[in-house]
């Protein structure tokens, strides 16, 4: 029963978030259409059967049965509809006006994302502490590309492909989007820079590329102790700094994971530093079955992801929001390009199940900022994806308008019908593939959290 309630709660959260974002998207089309005097026949909150509403200015403002966003129906917007030549019809307007109307929906989603990011950054801008540090290797996992290439603890990464002096965020993005693709690195050791080529290996349910190195952190201080897990029962607390395990130094979380992979369910003797005092604990790991693509592994229920939290003023928050949105947009396009070129896996995309899981998890976290951040991220993705030159999507409408402008005439109706039919089949198959990927990711995989 608790699991069922959790699923229902996730579905509800996802419906609210996606519904709101779709409504914002459609409002963009609606506002632009009204501005250019295109007759809007229906503006609906939700889909399906009309429940209630009113008519004003020739528009039926309604609430429909399925509360999943909404839609706008403009007169004559469907190329397959019979055209009467009425000046209020969508296709009776100049192409530049139709272009703006098509662009308005994605633009609203992108603007919403920027606004949400800006607002959150002004209240709670949280980022990994290692981003303020040089890209120095703190640990190398055995039998990984980094280990095989001879990378050592203390090595500094001064270049990845054409990026000079990258931070860890830039490194992780580069490697994640390049599974099985060689990357060129500049590695500094003892004042000398070595040139190395490493090939990230596909890892985890999303098949992201992984080199096998871990960022150097000031200490192994815990940011999470899971309730009910062995570490919690043994008395270990958030803020404790792990010093040794079974007498071995564990400077990084990855070192403890490696130890757990060897010792399995044997008791661990942990020494931690708490408020300047060394304390000893005996912790018996347990085999966790794993969920959401995380496979079975022996764990004690701790994590260390040191972060920093600041409040940015409006100007800095807006600049950071624009920078993050621009970077994320290009990453989406880069990932799409690599998938088309078969250099990346389709499994790197999240479908409705993956998105719903992320929304549900954010909604269960403390405070509003996690939910607002995931909402902004989805809104940005929705805006960018809708700009792709695929008929039926807004980007497809823009592409056809551009082609018609070059041709100086309308594309014939039979050709448009075939284009839209092919696009519909493509989108259905793509959607099915996303759902399949989501289901595959729920199967047992690998885990790296102790």
CB environment 111-142: b (16+ within 10 A), e (fewer): bbbbebbbbbbbebbeebebeeeebbbbbbbe
Question: Residue 413 CA to chain centroid, in angstroms?
Answer: 38
CA distance linking residue 386 with residue 119, whole number of Å:
24
Report residue 300 as tokens.
């004690």
Element (H, E) at 318: helix 314-340
From the list 360, 392, 394, 396, the residue with the least C-alpha distance to 378 is 360
Q: Are 231 and 298 in contact (CB under 8 A)?
A: no
3-state secondary structure 353-400: HHHHHHHHHHHHCCCCHHHHHHHHHHHHHHHHHHCCCCCCCHHHHHHH
Q: Which residues pair with 309 in a beta bridge?
A: 126
CA distance linking residue 385 with residue 390, whole number of Å:
9
Q: Which residues pair with 63 in a beta bridge?
A: 45, 52
From the list 121, 115, 116, the residue with the least C-alpha distance to 310 is 121
Please state, as a whole number, how many other Cβ atoms lie within 10 Å of the Cβ of residue 332.
Answer: 16
CA distance linking residue 303 with residue 313, whole number of Å:
31
Residues annotated as part of the active site: 26
Residues 6+ apart with CB under 8 A from 117: 317, 320, 321, 324, 325, 373, 376
CA distance linking residue 75 with residue 91, whole number of Å:
9
């Amino acid at each position: 029963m608790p699991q069922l309630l959790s699923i229902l709660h996730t579905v509800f959260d996802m419906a609210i978030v996606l519904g709101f974002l779709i409504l914002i998207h459609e409002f963009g089309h609606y506002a632009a259409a009204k501005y250019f005097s295109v007759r809007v026949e229906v503006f609906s909150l939700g889909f399906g059967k009309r429940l209630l509403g009113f008519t004003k200015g020739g528009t039926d403002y309604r609430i429909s049965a399925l509360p999943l966003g909404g839609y706008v129906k403009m007169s004559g917007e469907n190329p397959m509809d019979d055209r009467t030549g009425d000046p209020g019809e969508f296709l009776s307007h100049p192409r530049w006006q139709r272009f703006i109307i098509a662009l308005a929906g994605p633009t609203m989603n992108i603007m919403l994302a920027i606004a949400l990011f800006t607002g959150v950054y002004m209240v709670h801008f949280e980022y990994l502490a290692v981003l303020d540090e040089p890209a120095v290797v703190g640990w190398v996992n055995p039998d990984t590309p980094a280990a095989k290439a001879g990378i050592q603890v203390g090595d500094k990464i001064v270049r990845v492909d054409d990026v000079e002096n990258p931070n860890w965020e830039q490194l992780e993005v580069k490697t994640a989007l390049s599974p099985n693709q060689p990357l060129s690195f500049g590695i500094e050791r003892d004042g000398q820079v070595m040139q190395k080529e490493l090939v990230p290996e596909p890892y985890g349910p999303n098949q992201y590329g992984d080199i096998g190195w871990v960022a150097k952190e000031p200490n192994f201080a815990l940011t999470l102790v899971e309730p009910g897990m062995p570490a919690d029962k043994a008395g270990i607390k958030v803020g404790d700094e792990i010093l040794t395990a079974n007498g071995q130094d564990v400077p990084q979380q990855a070192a403890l994971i490696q130890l757990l992979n060897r010792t399995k369910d044997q008791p661990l003797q942990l020494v931690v530093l708490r408020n300047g005092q060394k304390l000893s604990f005996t912790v018996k790991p347990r085999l966790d079955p794993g969920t959401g693509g995380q496979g079975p592994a022996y764990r004690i229920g701790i994590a260390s992801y040191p972060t920093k939290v600041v409040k940015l003023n409006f100007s800095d928050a807006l600049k950071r929001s624009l920078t993050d949105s621009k970077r994320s947009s290009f990453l989406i396009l880069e990932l799409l390009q690599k998938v088309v070129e078969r250099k990346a896996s389709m499994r790197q995309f999240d479908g409705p199940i993956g998105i719903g899981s992320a929304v549900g998890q954010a909604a269960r976290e403390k405070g509003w900022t996690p939910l607002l951040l995931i909402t902004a991220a989805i809104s940005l993705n929705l805006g960018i994806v809708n700009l792709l030159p695929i008929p039926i999507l807004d980007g497809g409408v823009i592409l056809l308008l551009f082609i018609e402008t070059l041709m100086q005439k309308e594309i014939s109706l039979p050709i448009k019908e075939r284009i839209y039919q092919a696009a519909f089949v493509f989108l259905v198959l793509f959607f099915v593939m996303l759902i399949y990927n989501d289901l595959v990711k729920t199967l047992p995989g690998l885990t790296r959290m102790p």
